[in-house]
Structure 1
Amino acid sequence: MTESAIAVLDIDGTLIDSNYQHALAWYRALRSVGETRPVWRLHRLIGMGGDQVVTAVGGRELERRAGDRAREQQGKEVDALLEEMAPLPGARELLVAIKERGHPLVLASSAQQRHADVFLDKLDARDIVDAWTTSADVEASKPAPDLLRVALRKLGAPPDAPSVMVGDSVWDVEAAKKAGMPAIVVRSGGFGDDELQKAGAVAIYDTPGDLAKSLDDTPLA
């Protein structure tokens, strides 16, 4: 990769410690429409876009019957948990380190706009990143590659521009693969290293801070 390679970073779960809160929010939202599912199974879907979670949980019938209601309630449940979500160790330092190396930097989030705004403020990142996305920017979210392609377009870059994805889930890795990007992963998604490697992750780190210290060993060198 050249120094101008674009860095495309996920926010939820990668920079902000939010995965388990999202799993709980989905649990509560699904219960509100009469569906009770084990939280650990819901956690396995975190990182997948909210437009796809309900179908993954209960098939097209549940999506048709209750998808919109569940998503609306999930958003409200997340609202109530936002204060508990905090940047992961070294998250802002990673953003700074990437920018200091001269990489264009875009945050590829499928969060709702109001949640993305809160996360940007928690990271104090508005003056660091070049652009960011929200769920309003795409019709199909991860593991579809649309969000990553929109992230590049936000920078005025072509779809085949040299770029690297940083995420925390197998869904991030799959989306990156479809978009033609190598994927670096942090373990905060709760997936096993074997799962992430099988999905195609090129490197795995404990925290964003660990990645920041090791950028010279990655495609963002």
Structure 2
Amino acid sequence: MIEVNLELIKKFIPVVMMDMKEPFEIDAMAYTVFQETKRSSSFPKRMVEIEPAKVSFAIEYAIWYDYDIQHLYDLEHVWVYVGHDGAVQKVEASFHGKYLNMVNLETGEANLWEETHPVVYAQPGKHALVPDKRVIPMIPDWKESCMEKAGLDGVLVQDMFEMEIHTDEELQSMTESYIKGVYGFVPSMEFRPFLLEEDKLMTWEELKESIPGRVNRQIEVIREYFNE
């Protein structure tokens, strides 16, 4: 059994390729280790399956952004499955509420940097993850969502935070106008790697506890923007 510690978790952190004009950086990344099949706490519709014959453990990386180009905050995921020999066996990542295999379109193998870090591409502004930037133009409204459709969904309130994050019609309208006016952009489709700062890595429990505060701080920023 491989001992999973913080250094090992850092070893498999995904490298997220982001559009050169992307207005939002990753504000935090959380991890959860799976050594047996279990439902994800941060992606409740997802059962993370561990095949003991092939996989020693899997690490779920939950990637937090204060903004999506169409709504307040975003949470994306990468799952890295590690074999008994310590090598990456498989990589999956979230895509608009579902997930995709992160494989090289030519070889069918995971794209890796320095043998252990999965390389994934973030859809500009929306942050859904794909294995290759060539997939992005296949996504409906991928460009429009960053421009005329920016801010469309206002404040997003997930069920797990509905008691701590509150919105109303006025705030929804302000948020839509704020995101579109401040962050709307034309994607370049040229990409750069995002390198996570160490103080932004934490457990899922730590990130979950901080989320209402993170969202409510941005709500205050938006209110102050319109009240100046």
**Shared fold (TM-score greater than 0.5)?**
no
Relative to its length, the structure with more helix (as a share) is 1
- TM-score, length-normalised on structure 2? 0.29
* Bigger-Rg structure (1/2): 2
- TM-score, length-normalised on structure 1? 0.30
